Every structure is written in structure tokens, then in C-alpha cells.
A and B are shown apart, each in its own frame.
Chain A
Amino acid sequence: MSLLEIKNLTVSFDTVSGPFRAVDGVDLNVDGREILSIVGESGSGKSVAMLALMGLLPDTASVTADVMRFDGKDLLTMSDRDKRSIIGRDIAMIFQEPMSSLNPCFTVGFQIGEMLKRHTRLGRTERKARAIELMQAVGIPSPEQRLSAYPHQLSGGMSQRVMIAMSASCRPKLLIADEPTTALDVTIQAQILDLLRDLCAEFDMALVLITHDMGVVAQMAHRVQVQYAGQKVEEQSVEDLFSDPHHPYTAALLSALPERATGRGHLPSIPGVVPGQFDRPPGCLFEPRCAYATASCRSSAHRQGPELGHALCNHPLINGAPADGTQAREITV
């Protein structure tokens, strides 16, 4: 049984101009100790799906799902109160902007200690000792002194380490990292990713890593889920995804990587933009930007089986070309 199981998750926001579907029927499974990466460009609903799981969306969002189960517990029927005893303790989350994610009015020690106070029975001195231990574990130098530091006295990398120490403090079974390195310097990025991977191994933690960086995916993930415009378009193990992407969107993403670009000239790019609230195509959402789209794609897209990476595509690719022999077309946007 998987640690986290979500089926047909849909999140829509009430906006002035009508409802907007940010997440559209997404399935998601995470096994214990697994690192799952959710990839997609901005607006593909990857963060929103995880915020919905955590119950962190504003009131304007309505969340529905057929199944939302964590560690055998049904999150859909659970009261808010019971859910709050799981959130933070068993499922923890870190965010994109470490500097603004810590409360500027409280010391680092207070903010880590608060998490322990909420979810454990540790006493005051034990909490302090545990906080120091955690800060050591995430590589913060002289943790005793840092306990009384305020967030504005820390760098971005240090703040993210504090966030990681805080979220790992109750030894959660699942950690969700929402673009944890996007706001950091490149040199710090690698350190933070290493730290996350080590902590997962040490604490037997599963990790959902939300990112738009394929390099991060290759370095970290066991399994990858690709999202486009709120839908899951493909899901494969990381090796298979990089060697043989089945959805044309995944293939286009991979070929846009500078490392993969062969020859001189312009880097390949995907023409057009992600559809918004008002220009959602009726069939396959990627159809207007897809080189292999045909007339059937304008009415619907079929979900393929696991052998084709669950690709949401009528003409899935095998070894870089549609298996059914569909010819590439010129795209005009």
C-alpha cells in the first residue's frame, strides 16, 4: 500500500471571471521512502495540488477528490482538527522562499521548538536539545548561538536549512518540498538537495519534490510525474523518463535542456504558452502546441497504460516518434 494515495484530485478557484481549474483530475501515489518529483512549468498546478493536500489553500479554492489517503487514513472524511495533528507531524512542507517563510518576529529556536511543542510531549529543555540536534543535522554551524537568531540575520540558504530542520523535527513520513532551491544561489542549491536526500535516507522519509528544473529531477528523483495545465500527462521512473519519454510535452521539455541540445544554433523551445482560464482547448490541452496533434486530439485525449508511462496522449511516442506513425506538423501559434 502506498504512503500517499490521491485519485482524481481537482482544485478550482472562484475568480471574478468565473471558476478556474488549477488542478484537473490528478492522480498521485507516493510510496514510503520514495522520492517523487512533480515537474511542470509555472501554472501547471503542481504546487496547488500539494497545498490542497496540506489544507493550505485559501477559502476561494474548492478541493474535490475520489480518494485522498495517507498512511491508511482517509483525509477526506477527517475533521480539520484531526488533520492538523497529522499536518506538520507526519506530512511536512517546505517552500520556495525560505527568507519569507520564517516569521520575522520570532527566533529560530522558538520556531523549531513550537513544532516540537505542538506534536511531541518533549519538555522545554528536551525541546531545546532536540532543536540543536536538528540544526546540527541540517548543517547549521554553531547551532547553540543560532537558536536565538532572528530570520533576518540568516542568509537564504541558512533559512532554508532552518525550514528543513523545522519540518523534519517530528520525523515526518512524507516531506513535500515546493521548489526548495529556486530562490537560492546555484552553489547552495546543490547543498540543499544533497541535504534533502541524506535526510530522507536517514529519517526514512518519502519526498515529493516539486520543481521545474529537469537537472534537479535527474539528480534526485526515483519517479517522475509530469504535469501540464493542471493535468498529469506522464509518469515514469526517472531512468525511463529521460531515456524514452512517451508524451510529446515531456519529450519537448527534455529536448529544451541545454545539455541535450546538439549542434549549433538556437536552443529548441516549445512554441506557444500554457492555456489559461479562457483559452483551454476542448480536447488535449497540449494540442495547440504539439507537433504530432491530429484532428482526434481536438476532441479528446486518451490515457495510455503503464507501459506507455500513463501518458495522456492519443499518439504516444516510442523512442522519439509516435508509435502509430503520425507525422510531425508545422505549428503556427
Chain B
Amino acid sequence: MLRFFLTRLGLLIPTFIGVSIVAFAFIRLLPGDPIMLLAGERGIDPARYAELQASLGFDKPLPIQYFNYLSDIVTGDFGTSIVTKRPVLDEFMTLFPATIELALCAIILATLVGIPAGVLAAVKRGTWLDQTVMGTALVGYSMPIFWWGLLLIIFFSGILQWTPVSGRISLVYFFPPVTGFMLIDSLLSGQSGAFRSALSHLVLPTIVLATIPLAVIARQTRSAMLEVLGEDYVRTARAKGLPPRRVIGLHALRNALIPVITTIGLQVGVLLAGAILTETIFSWPGIGKWMVDSVFKRDYSVVQGGLLLIAGVIMIVNLVVDLLYGLINPRIRH
């Protein structure tokens, strides 16, 4: 197990270097540069421009810039935002909890609804229930996220006025961040109504972000269950006189979960990508919105640093999924 863990950990290094090259090259391929954009409509004096370029290190050849960047990262320095002058890592750490909170809620919702829905569809295969679940899943999977988000905002926030349109919490509440998770912080603050407000802000973004993973998990669970339900050991479980609840919920589901866990792990990448759209729609102050804003401002260090950090998070999640996979599947562990 330790050996397995270490090999997987070792594989992260080349992946990380690959991502850093892509991130570095990608932002520089875009037309325009941060200095021009900062200068705005009035333009900038060429001498001042050259001076600024030199101060940011943009006058050096690209390979040199890249290796300088890489050596900074090895020491833990992800650079400084050209726009805000704050360290990229600090900004990331401030904003990341907001994204994590949203992503966690979304994956929990997707799992809690998706797995039972898939199991139900498999057990009631071919009935109207199965068709309803799978039909809904297909619609959910096919819907463009931004359109779905706007639709929900128009209906629940606009017409029904049940939920707020944007942000993480109502402006009347203020308390210092402790964990960075608004749900927990609002509880800790002790201010009445703060938790309710945080929760109502979270509902719609969570639903929007969870839609695609939910559909994927439900479909994957259904097909895994259908396969497992025909296995000999399920017949053995029934031959033991066990109630259907236990046969399906323990003997079949435990085996069906093996591919589903992999799917959930892969969905984490989808979630972080989806967060970019969802956060933009709901003005959610997370890394998704941060990245989009930085791309528009050509904030080189933020875009490349942010991409690298997000990639790091996804790689770590995948590693955790691999470990979990070994935990749930004894054939891999031994």
C-alpha cells in the first residue's frame, strides 16, 4: 500500500511540470499584455513601457522566464498578482475555501441523490421510474450550465423571490473568516439569521454545479448495479434468506460502488471547471471567478499560478480516489 502510494506520488511530479508549461504558454498566447491593459485607453509612453516590462521580467526570452518561474515555484513562491500586487498564493488561499465549500456541497448533493436514483432505476429496470430517472439524468447532463443557472435565478430569485441572486451571504452580516467556509463561520459568529442567509445563498449555485455530476453518477450507478445484480454472489445473498434491502444495499451496492467511486473522482475536475461558470453566474467569490477575471486582465502570474494550484488540487483528489479505491476493493489492496 505504501509502495503504491509512493509510486502514485512520484507520478505527480512530471504531470505537475507538464501543467506548468501549458499554463505558462497558454496565457502568453493571448493577444495583449497586462501592462497595456493596466494603462487603459490613454496608452503608455514607450520608455515607461520598456521599464515596466523589465521590472516584471517580461523582457527576457521565454525559456528564461519559464525557468525563473519554475525555480520560484519550487521555493513555494507562486508570484505576485500584477494587478493587485498581492501574492498569488495568498489570494488563492483566501478564495479557495469559497470554491471548496461550493464544490463539496455540490458533490455531496450529487452523490446523495445520484447513487440512490441510480440504484432505484436499476432495481426497477424498464419501469416508468427507471425511464423517468434516466430521462431526467440525460436532460441534466445535456443542459448548458450557464443557461440552467440563469433559468433557476429567474424562477427562484426573480419570480418566487425565495433565494438571493448572488454572493455568499447577505451584506447585513459581517464576521471575520475563521475557517473560510461560510456555513461554519456563520454558525460560529452566533449572529441570528446568518446561517440561514449563508445557506440560502448556497442553494442555487450548489444545484447548478451538481447537475452534471449528479446525472453522470446516476447513470454510472445504474449500469454498475445492473451488472452486479446478475452476479452469482447476489444470488448467494438471496439464498441466505437476507431481506432485499440488505441484498441490494450491501451485497450488490458495495460492488457497484467500485466504478462509481472512480466516476466521482473524475467529476471533481468537472466540478472545478464547472465552478468557473457557476461562480461567474452567481458572483460567487471563489477561484473560478478569480481565474476568469485574471484572464480578462492578462494577469499572467495569477492565471499560471492559479491553473497550477487547481491542477494540484485535482491531482491530489485523484490520488485520494485511488487510495479509496484500494480501500473499497479488496482485490486491489492485496
Contact = CB atoms under 8 A, between A and B. Distances in A.
A89 B239 CA distance: 10
Interface in A126-168: 150, 152-153, 163, 166-167
Contacts of B331: 104, 150, 152
A105 B328 contact: yes
Contact of B334 (A84, A100, A115, A150): A150
B254 A105 contact: yes
A100 B241 contact: no
A102 B241 contact: no
Contact of B239 (A92, A106, A153): A92
A333 B165 CA distance: 79
Closest 8 CB pairs of A and B: A88-B241, A87-B241, A100-B232, A103-B233, A88-B240, A150-B330, A84-B241, A105-B254
Interface string B308-334: 000000000000000000001111001
A118 B236 CA distance: 14
Chain B contact residues (Cβ within 8 angstroms of A): what range? 20 to 34
Contacts of A93: 239
Contacts of A119: 241
Chain A contact residues (Cβ within 8 angstroms of B): what range? 20 to 34
Contact of B330 (A86, A92, A152): A152
A87 B239 contact: yes
A90 to B, nearest CB: 9
Interface string A58-98: 00000000000000000000000100111111001101010
B108 interface: no
Given A118-B242, A119-B241, A101 B329 contact: no
Given A100-B233, A103-B233, A88 B239 contact: yes
A79 to B, nearest CB: 12
Contacts of A193: none
Nearest to A97: B232
Interface string A209-250: 000000000000000000000000000000000000000000
A74 B71 CA distance: 80
B216 to A, nearest CB: 23
Q: Taking each of B236, B237, B254, which has the highest tally of chain A beta carbons within 10 Å of its own beta carbon?
A: B236
Contacts of B251: 103, 106
